[in-house]
Amino acid sequence: MILKKKYDVVVVGELNVDLIANGLSKFPEVGKEIIANQFVTTLGSSSAIFASNLSAFGTKVTFTGKVGNDNYGDFIVAALKARRVDVNNIVRTGKPDTGVTIVLNYDEDRAMVTYQGAMAAFNLGDIPDNVLEQARHLHLSSVFLQESLKKDIVLLFKKAKQLGLTTSLDPQWDPAEKWDIDWEKLLGYVDIFMPNQAELNAITNTTTIPAAIDVLKDFSNILVVKNGREGAILWTDNNLIHQPAFFNNSVVDSIGAGDSFNAGFIHAFLQGRTLKECMEFGALMGAINTTSSGGTMAFENMSKVKEIAKSSFDYTF
């Protein structure tokens, strides 16, 4: 008999607000000033966008992370609660304060500056065993922004597998560009590894996806590589699936598109869908993400998601 778990997914990750400048005519230059056509303060962080949008699909999500006892911390907790994400396992701290990312959007590209704050202090001891025991799946994003947790990342994923969870990891970019994790040891405990192409090539010191796959193939499980308008590629057991992107000709911004792809993929995966179906649903959610500013505004609830899928991409589900 399979025991029913309290949560479908426990998300372990960084928490910050995004301060987003949109509509730039060009990127700023030192000593010069330019104008933004729009400025938005919204829920940021790869992990929080993933958790928020996954919850909008009806998946039961709890979050473990760390924020300050400040206004930005209040904003983040309230935003996650509004999306029905369980926030009882988020740690509040008086010092350091909540993390912030400043985002400058130009066309479909962006530049970001992040103040880590409390996310850098979050560690393995902040994740109670009983939280893992109550979940079916563990997802972690942005390991390199969580310096205190990074040193125990293998232990975390090993513990999750020992407790019977399926697991996924989106590494995100390493600001130090060291990529100093024992990937061979870690990826044995990661069921679904979800980098974008730039991250994958940096991790493997390669320049193409086939070359990167060749480096990882002996110790990785399911590899999902996101590549923007080129779509996404899945590799497992010598099988390759290419998923074309759903094109949006009126992109507002692409913040969180990869995280929304992840949310769509994991939602379908936990429903027992085929890997091909998981890829398609992930790609659709990534495209829907680009129809609104920030990573979560297009995902108020499943009804709105279905409406955008039909009106913008002529897709019904």
What distances in angstroms separate CA 105 from CA 34, 231, 235, 251, 252, one per listed residue?
Answer: 12, 21, 31, 11, 9
Q: What pLDDT, on a 0 to 100 scale, did the predictor assign at position 2?
A: 52
Q: How far apart are CA 282 and CA 271, in angstroms?
A: 13
Q: How many CB atoms within 10 Å of residue 251?
A: 16
Asked if the model's pLDDT at residue 293 lies above 80, the reply is no
Q: What percent of the chain has pLDDT over 90?
A: 82
pLDDT tens figures, 43-90: 889 999 999 999 999 999 999 999 999 999 999 999 999 999 999 999
Strands (E), the chain: 7-12, 16-22, 38-43, 61-68, 90-93, 99-106, 109-115, 135-141, 166-170, 192-193, 222-226, 232-236, 239-243
Total of domains in the chain: 1
Residue 94 maps to a domain: no
Ramachandran angles phi, psi of 91, nearest 5°: -90, 130
DSSP 205: T
Specify whether the backbone of 237 is left (phi greater than 0), alpha (psi in -120 to 50) or beta: left
Q: What pLDDT does 95 receive?
A: 87
Helix (H) or strand (E) holding 81: helix 71-82
Residue 237 lies in a domain: yes
Length of the chain: 317
- Tokens read off for 181: 């994790």
For residue 185, is it within any domain?
yes
Closest CA relative to residue 225, chosen from 210, 246, 237: 210
Q: Sort 210 into a burial class: Cβ within 10 Å, 0-12 / 13-18 / 19+.
A: exposed
The range of the structural domain enclosing residue 287 comes to 7-14+46-70+84-89+120-313
Rounded Cα distance between 223 and 169, Å, is 10
Confidence at residue 1, expressed as pLDDT on a 0 to 100 scale: 43
- The CATH number given to whatever domain includes residue 261 is 3.40.1190.20
Q: Find the radius of gyration of the CA atoms of the chain.
A: 18
Average pLDDT in the chain: 94
Identify the residue whose tokens are 């919850």.
55
Q: Is residue 95 part of a domain?
A: no
In percent, the amount of the chain with pLDDT more than 70 equals 99
**pLDDT, tens digit (0-9, with 9 covering 90-100), for 128-172:** 999 999 999 999 999 999 999 999 999 999 999 999 999 999 999
- Omega prior to 96 cis, within 30 of 0: yes
Q: What are phi and psi of 174, to 5 degrees?
A: -95, 110
Backbone CA torsion sign across 219, 224, 227, 232: positive
* Range picked from 96-105, 193-202, 297-306 for highest mean pLDDT: 193-202
